[in-house]
Amino acid sequence: DTAVSQTPKYLVTQMGNDKSIKCEQNLGHDTMYWYKQDSKKFLKIMFSYNNKELIINETVPNRFSPKSPDKAHLNLHINSLELGDSAVYFCASSQDRGPYEQFFGPGTRLTVL
């Protein structure tokens, strides 16, 4: 009965590699998000998709590319990984109307060596 799920939970990789994180929600929500939580535990929005359409795109390097094959899935692909990409990445989803309560996944801890 998992609401928002992410895979993998842990990802350790070398600099320069390309990796993907997958997210799925079974809440029937129309909007999905990717957040980055840095070492100081500060959460920051990266992207948001509504019904497969990009609606929020913060100042994120273009090495990060979200892809939404359908409204229940939002994957994050990262090219040419850098040390500074090490963080915990959270996926979230919400309904398409106020108060837009967001439900978060368990997070993916990415470590770039």
* Site membership for other proteins, residue 22 (CB under 8 A): no
Interacting residue with other proteins among 13, 60, 107, 111 (CB under 8 A): 107
* Site membership for other proteins, residue 72 (CB under 8 A): no
* Site membership for other proteins, residue 39 (CB under 8 A): no
CA torsion, ordered 41, 42, 47, 50, to nearest 10 deg: 90
* Site membership for other proteins, residue 63 (CB under 8 A): no
* Site membership for other proteins, residue 46 (CB under 8 A): no
Distances (CA, A) of 69 to 73, 76, 104, 112: 6, 11, 19, 27
Residue number with CB closer to other proteins (69 or 98): 98
In this structure, are strands 10-13 and 108-112 parallel, antiparallel, or unpaired? parallel
